Structure formats: structure tokens, C-alpha cells
Chains A and B, each alone.
Chain A
Amino acid sequence: MDTNLFTQLNPHQSMPSPEFKHRLRTQLLQQYERGPLLNLNFNTMLRPRLLTAGLMAGFSLVIIFAGLFGYYLPEQYNINLLQKIYAANSSRLSSEGNFLSIETAIIGGPAMARCGISNTPIHNGYAKFINSYYESEEHYYYKYLTYNEQDELVDYLLGRDNRTYSYDGGDHITELVHPRDSWEQRDTSTQPINNQVFGGMSDSRVKVISQDDKKILLSWESGRTCELSETPEVSHPVTVIAEVDATTLRLINTKYYLGTVAPENLFYTDTVKIEQKNIPVEEAEIKFNIRADYPDLEIRTQEIKPFSETINWDANTEDIVNRIKDGTFNLLVPNSSRVEYLGSRNYQNFLPPLELIQTPLLPQEEVWISAEQLLSFNTYYAVNSSDRQYGYRVDVLKPEATFEDYKSKKLSSRTYGEGDTVEAVGSISVKVNGQNITAIDNLAIQTIKYNGDKSTLTTYFHYIGFEYGGHHYVIEIYLEADNDESPEVLHEILDLRALDPKNSAELQEYIDMVDAHRTWGK
């Protein structure tokens, strides 16, 4: 059996890891005795924290030993391209204990230059997709950075792990844990705003105009994208209000940010809460408190007077839209009905983003999408009953979905239209432990003109192989451009250590793949 083909049917994974089993058991029993129960979702909650702690401890040890013994790590690394893979077959296991890190930086053409949430194309822009893999953590991190033609960063997405990349529902992007880049952990609900800092990416020209314990008013130069770099001492929840006078806008709130928007869609938002009374009868009440000022952008000194009313479930979408514009409304949601978050371009200009905080959940058996899943994004909003559809439906998320999930979902929800051009990666570079191992320009320019026939879309692969410490790795990079997905640049590290070094046929298969792609674009 080809080990590569059925990796995901690998039988050894069918048994749980003893470490995971033991840890979960211990935590459960401890919390049963002491309470309260925390979310022990290992992959999304516990492991990142453990790994972060472990990583910090590991690095501390490395620094101590380096200081004691004058140990200079980079000199120990021996990195060659996979062309030499045969010669190294017998020299395995020399790097046990060393940390391997691999970073690939891919420059995407204009078709890739889209803002993560809104999917707004950036004219003549480009995107950098930087993947980092740390063997010590067994995690991938990625940054999806979108630039305009003035080389200004206008949008980014941050994520972690392969699972992040499969935007087909239910997968996680959780906390942004990236100590190497000073990205601090981002907890979606309890962290004060001070933890929202993204070091190295903030714009010093952002100004805090005013602040109190409920809101922060920011401004920045026209045409710039800004992020909250100064961190007033306020506690959650807080509202970040942006002064909008430019073609780009970015806000980071304690729960969400807004992506770049076109001038005609400018708006700002307040924190929105849903207060739900858990009524186990005919209906539950969900209260939205929405403040929307479109099209009036004079928001600096404006006092918003909340406006409340109740809208029946059957109210038509335009009616809801108009009421949202004016302030607050209550939505009655029968338990047996579906609440769906719909979008239609027709309503785009009218609608504010929402952030819905719901406590507690409706009975899950009876609600297809919980209100908590109706997370905010900066396009449009509508509600309908199950038998009426307006526009297209945004993908359903897991009940525990975070806003990070939503960002990724939105990124993937664009569908191709006839005449769309999908442009694959323009260049790529790979670093292993900080050293460049390959930098190939114009590696894989692939332009696809979508003609309405999905079968013409394909996935492009590129392979880069290298040997490190006697072990062989292949980086499989591919542009996913099939079906209804957005073009995605993905990568996987194929660790060939599991292969039998004496079985040259298996290695040859990888070498063939690497060789077959080395000439791309040349």
C-alpha cells in the first residue's frame, strides 16, 4: 500500500494517544471534584497552552545550554535539496532533539489579494502567504498578508494548523499563538484589550482620540490601514470606534475586527449583545442591540439613542434591514425554526456588522444554527425563515465556533463567477531553521480563466524536497482552485521518516514529484 495515499487511514492513529487519554482523565476528575468544568477540548484549548508553555521552557533550556557550552545551533544544521536524498538514506536519526522549523513564503498575484473577511479584491494588490512549521510543537502557523499596490498592508489573517486550511466546515482556528512574532494569545471572551496587540504589524500613526471604559475612538491617516497599537487600560467588553475617512478601515475589537471596506460601505459598529431568556416553550427572545450609523459617519461626538422594537420572525428582510439601520430591535425566534445568517449583495450597503453574544444557547436539538454562530462580518445581514432564501447562505459553523472560524469561513465562501481569473502563486521561498534553502522566482504562474465549467479548475501542486539532519522532508504546496472554494494556498510537510530508507521506489515517487515541478514557470 502506498503510505502516502492513505495517510489519513493510518491505522496507528486509531488508538488514542496515552498522553491525551491520561491528561483528559485527570482533568475531568479533578474538575468533577473541584469544579467548575472548563472546556477541555484538547486540540483547540488545552494543547496550545501546553505547547506554548513547553515551548517557552524548551527555549529557556536551549538558551541556558547555549550560554554554558557555547553551542551555536545553526552550524549543526546540514540542509540539502532532495536531489541528494539517496546519498543520505543511511544517515538517519542524527537530529533527534533538535528543533526543526520550516517557513515558506509565497507571493500571490492579484487574484489572491483579497481581504479575509469581506473578500474584497485589492486592485493591483498582492498577497503573502507565510507558513511556518515548528517540529517542536507539531503545529503550523500561517499569516495571510494582503498588500495594496503601494506595498501597504491592508489585511491579514492569522491561523494555525492544517485543520485551519480545510474550510469545509467545522474546523478550527483557535487562538493565535505565535510567540516568535510577538503575537500574543487572543482569547475571544475574557482577555482585556491589552492582549489584542499584534506586535510588529501595528501602525504608529493610529491615534487614540478618546477613550473611556466603554469605547475607544481612533483615527488615522487617509489611505492607511491601522491597527490598535496603543492599548488603553480598559476591560472587556469595549467598543472600538473608528473614524473613517479613508479607503481602508480596520478595527480590532475584543471580539472581532472589521476588514477593509469600500468607501460606500463605510460604517462603524457597536458591541452587540444578545440576551436570551431560556424559555422552554414556544419561543425564545433574542435581543439584538445594534447601533448603525450608515450613511452618517459623523460619529465622533454623536450620541446614539438606542431604539428598540420587536420584529416578528416573518418580517421581510428589507423591513429588518431598515430597522437595523435605526437602532435596536428584538427578534423573536421560535425554537423550532432556523436562524440563518444570509447575505445578499442587494443589502450590502445598508447593513452593519453584528456581533452576537448569546447566553445561554437555545436548545441545540431545535436550533439549526445557534445565535452565537451569527458572528459579525462587514458585509450584510438578513434573517429569513426556513422556506425563504435571500442571497446565498453563509456556511454553518460549529456551536463552539469562534470568530476566527468565521473569518476563515468567509474567506472560503467566495464562489467563482464566469470570467473570474484565478492566479496561482507567483514566487516562493523556503527557509529551514532560518536559512534559505530555495528561492525560486516565477515558480508557478498559473492563470485560470474560469469559463463556468468547474471541471476546468484544478489544483496545482508544487514540491520542494530537502534533507535535514539525515531525515527527508517534502513540502507539498498546492493551490486549491477547485469546486466552489476560494483559491487557497496550502502546504503540508510530508515527513518521510516513516518510509523505509531501503525502499527506493517510495522515495523515487517523491523525487519524481519534486523533479516534475522544479521546472514550473522557468
Chain B
Amino acid sequence: MHPLTTQEIGDIYDRHFDKIYRFFYYRTLSREQAEDLTSETFTQFVRELKRKPAIQNPEHYLYGIAQFTFQAFLRSKYRQIKQVPLEVADFIKSVQTTLETYDDSAADLESIAIGYLDKLPDKQAQVLKLRIIEKLTPTEVAHRLSKNLNYVKTTQKRALKSIKQLIALYPPETLIN
């Protein structure tokens, strides 16, 4: 196995950058976080290529780094790692499944969020259902629940935070299955 040329590394980057970025984005729902994780993955990848030029399957290796990077992220942010497949091959499938699950339409993102409603605490689910399903404004929700606007905003904020965590740890495809 000869050391990869710059051109070959560039090709690998071009083939996999979007997939890896989008995977990180869909799991973190944060552009900044996705950029950081992607950058971290590729930097580490190139660093390893310099260190060990004769890597047999560089693309597989790249996803191994992505897997580890995401695992470290979950461990750091949510103190959990079990949601990341342990085998790189499984992780690659997981990336593919995540990308297929989303189709970049706002409606689907909304429906994905709806899929998590029953996993939220009751109060959070109640507010979010009114906001998402019944399309009520915060003021209307407050009126419906006989609560003030602060209650609605607070609960909604917590609900979105909860959903974000749930999506990171339990991607939509795991709900479907």
C-alpha cells in the first residue's frame, strides 16, 4: 500500500465530506457543532495518514475516526456512548440510515420531532403538541392552558432541548425500528 497522494486524499474528502457533515448535523442539530466534529474528524484523519501512510482501507479508517469523534462528543455532552455502534461497518450503515431518514424538508424535520413527543415529560409534550400539531402561538397556548407566557416559553425551551438530546442519542431510525 503506497502512501496516499494529495489528490487521493482530496478525492476521499470530496466523496465523504458532505455525508459526514450531514450525519453530525442531523445528530447534533447544531451547525457549529457539526462543523467542529467534521473538522476534527478530517484533521485527525490526515494526521493519521501522515503518521501511518500505509493504511489499508483509508475510507474505512476515516469512518472509524468519525465514529470515535462522535462517541467522544456523546460521552462529553451526554455522558453516554452506547448509542454509537461499536463496529465501524455498523457505524457506516448508521450514517447511511441517518442520511436516508432525513430528506432536508422542514415538514419531515417536524414530523421527526413529533415522533419524540411521547418520550418527553408530560408538561413538555403538552406544550409542544399544541405548538406543533395544533399550530398555536405561544400566546394561544398560554391561554389554552391557563398559564402565563413565561410558562409556555420555558416549557417549550426545555422540550426542544430534550428533543435535541433524544435525537443525538436515539436517532429517528431507531424509533422506526
Contacts and interface: CB of A to CB of B under 8 A. Distances in A.
Interface of A: 1-2, 5-6, 8-11, 13-17, 20-21, 24-25, 28-29, 31-33, 35, 37, 39-44, 161, 163, 168-170, 172, 364-365, 368, 396-399, 458-461, 478, 482, 505, 509, 512-513, 516
Interface string B1-44: 00000100110011001100110011001111111101110110
Interface in B149-177: 149-151, 153-154, 156-158, 160, 164
Contacts of B14: 25
B46 interface: yes
A459 B153 contact: yes
A482 B154 contact: yes
Contact of B35 (A42, A458, A516): A42
Name which of A5, A37, A40, A42 has the most chain B CB atoms within 10 A of its CB.
A5
B43 A459 contact: no
B150 A1 contact: no
A8 B160 contact: yes
Contacts of A14: 22, 25-26, 102, 104
B50 interface: yes
Given A459-B153, A516-B149, A396 B43 contact: no
- Which 8 A-B pairs give the minimum distances between C-beta atoms? A170-B77, A459-B154, A170-B76, A9-B109, A16-B21, A13-B31, A169-B77, A398-B76
Contacts of A397: 76
Nearest to A455: B123
A459 B154 CA distance: 6
Contact of B42 (A28, A33, A35): A28
Contact of B106 (A1, A24, A28): A1
Contacts of A32: 6, 9, 46, 49-50
Contacts of B149: 461, 512-513, 516
Contact of A37 (B46, B135, B158): B46
Nearest to A39: B43
A29 B158 contact: no
29 contacts: A1-B110, A1-B132, A6-B113, A9-B113, A11-B106, A16-B21, A17-B35, A21-B18, A24-B39, A28-B9, A29-B9, A32-B46, A32-B49, A37-B46, A42-B36, A43-B32, A43-B35, A43-B39, A169-B78, A365-B68, A396-B75, A398-B76, A458-B154, A461-B153, A512-B138, A512-B139, A513-B139, A513-B153, A516-B149
A10 B30 CA distance: 9
A458 B149 CA distance: 12
A20 B35 contact: yes
Contacts of A20: 35
Given A1-B106, A28-B9, A482-B158, A40 B39 contact: yes
B117 interface: no
Contacts of A1: 106-107, 110, 132
Contact of B50 (A11, A35, A458): A35
A6 B33 CA distance: 17
A457 to B, nearest CB: 9
A387 B110 CA distance: 42
A31 B164 CA distance: 35
Given A28-B46, A41-B43, A8 B32 contact: no
B29 A9 contact: yes
Name which of A20, A32, A39 has the most chain B CB atoms within 10 A of its CB.
A32
A21 B10 CA distance: 12
Contacts of B22: 14-16
Contacts of B6: 29, 32-33
B99 to A, nearest CB: 10
A43 B33 CA distance: 8
A33 B31 CA distance: 29
A163 B76 contact: no
Contacts of B92: none
Contact of A11 (B39, B43, B104, B150): B104
A508 to B, nearest CB: 8
A41 B18 contact: no
Given A1-B107, A163-B32, 9 more contacts: A1-B106, A2-B137, A25-B13, A37-B47, A396-B76, A509-B137, A509-B138, A513-B139, A513-B149
B79 A396 contact: yes
Interface in B53-101: 68, 72-73, 75-79
A100 to B, nearest CB: 21
Contacts of A5: 131-132, 156, 160
A31 B46 CA distance: 9
A512 B142 CA distance: 12
B105 interface: yes
A364 to B, nearest CB: 7
A16 B38 contact: yes
Contacts of A24: 17, 38-39, 42
Contacts of B47: 37
B9 A6 contact: no
